[in-house]
Structure 1
Amino acid sequence: MAVTIRLAGRSDAGRLDSALAALARDLGDTYNASPEALERAGWGDVPAFRAQLAEEGGVLAGLALYSPGLSTVRGGAGLYVSDLWVSPKQRSGGLGRRLLGAAFADAARAWGACFLRLQVYDRAPAARRFYDRLGFVPAKGHTDLFLDEAGCAALEGER
C-alpha cells in the first residue's frame, strides 16, 4: 500500500498529538501538549502551525509540523520545522524527505517560503546524518536563546 501525504486539518488534532507524543518518547523528551492545545494552536483565529501527515492504509506513518518565519537576512519568509517524525516501520524509506518536501511546497504556496530551518538534537546522530545527506548546514554566528513561561510573564509585565 502506498504512503500518501496530506495537509492536516482540525479533525487530525488527536492524531497529531499521538505522533508528537511518540516523537517525544523517541527523543526522551517530556511532552506537555494535548489534542485540545494543538487544535487551538493550529486552527484558532491566528494559526501557529501547519502540519503534513503521512498515512498508509489509514495508519499514521509520519508527520512534519512547521511554522512561518521571516528572515530579513535571507530576504523573505521561510518555514521552521519544529517536529519531524517517521514511524519506525517507515524509516530509511525516503518518507522524511517527502514530508519535508511537502511542508516546503505548502509553505511556498501559503506564504512564499524561500528557505527551511530546523534544529537537531546533539544526542540524535542518526537524525543529524539524515539532515546532512539532504544538504542542511549548521547555522554559524548565532546561538538559539529561549525565555521560559515565567520569563515571558515577567517581560509582559514590563508593558
Structure 2
Amino acid sequence: MQVSLRVAEQRDAERINTALRRLSDDLNDEHTARAADLENVGWADMPGFRAVLAETDEIVGVALYSPVFSTTRGGAGIFVSDLWAAPKVRGRRLGARLLSAALADGVELWGANFIKLSVYDDSLNARRFYDQLGFEPLEGQIELILDKAGCAALKGEV
C-alpha cells in the first residue's frame, strides 16, 4: 500500500475532522470540533494550526500541530496536539513519518528545533511508540488547562 504525505489544504477540513473524530473515538474522548471550526482556525489570516495528511485513496493518518516558543530551549518548536494512524496502517512507522513531516514543515515555517506533545497516562501503546522515538517526560512539569468557562471567567464574562 502506497502512502503519500502532504500538508493539508483548506479543502481537506472535512476529511481532517473525520480522521480526528476517529482518533477521539479510539481514545474515548468527546469530539466537539466541526469542519467549519478547523477551516476558521487553520486557514485564518493568522492560522492557528497546520496539518500533515497521510493518504492512500483515503486519509489514513494525520498530524495536527501548532508553533510554540520556548525561552528554555531558545527557539521555536511544534506542539503536536493530535496524531492518528488508521488501524490498517499501524505498525508501519506512519506515525514517525507524520511527525517527521510535521517537524520539517515547522522547521521551514518557524525554525522549529523541538517537538512537544501530550500522551494519556493509560495509553501504553502510544507511550511505547513515543519512547521508541526518543521522547522523554518533562520532569517537574504538570500539564494544565483552563477550559471555556474558566476563560470566560478570566475575561470577566461571568
Q: TM-score, normalised by structure 1?
A: 0.97
What SS does the corresponding residue of 1:99 show, helix, strand or coil? helix
Name the residue aligned to 1:76.
75
Q: Does 1:22 align with 2:10?
A: no
Looking at structure 2, the residues matched to 18 and 89 of structure 1 have their Cα atoms a distance apart, in angstroms, of 16
RMSD of aligned residue pairs (Cα, Å): 0.9
Name the residue aligned to 2:143.
144
What SS does the corresponding residue of 2:83 show, helix, strand or coil? strand
The within-5 A match list for 1:55-134 is 55-56=55-56, 58-134=57-133
Task: Give aligned pairs, total.
Answer: 157
Looking at structure 2, the residues matched to 80 and 130 of structure 1 have their Cα atoms a distance apart, in angstroms, of 17
Name the residue aligned to 1:6.
6
Looking at structure 2, the residues matched to 142 and 59 of structure 1 have their Cα atoms a distance apart, in angstroms, of 38
Q: TM-score, normalised by structure 2?
A: 0.97
CA offset at residue 64 of structure 1? 0.3
What SS does the corresponding residue of 1:53 show, helix, strand or coil? strand
User: Which amino acid is the alignment partner of residue 36 of structure 2?
Assistant: E
Deviation string for 1:99-157 (max 9, x for gaps)?
A: 00000000000111010000110111000000000000000111111111111111112
Gaps of 5+ in 2: none
Q: Percent identity, aligned pairs only?
A: 55
Looking at structure 1, the residues matched to 18 and 65 of structure 2 have their Cα atoms a distance apart, in angstroms, of 17
After the TM superposition, which segments of 4 or more aligned residues of structure 1 sit over 2 Å from their partners? none
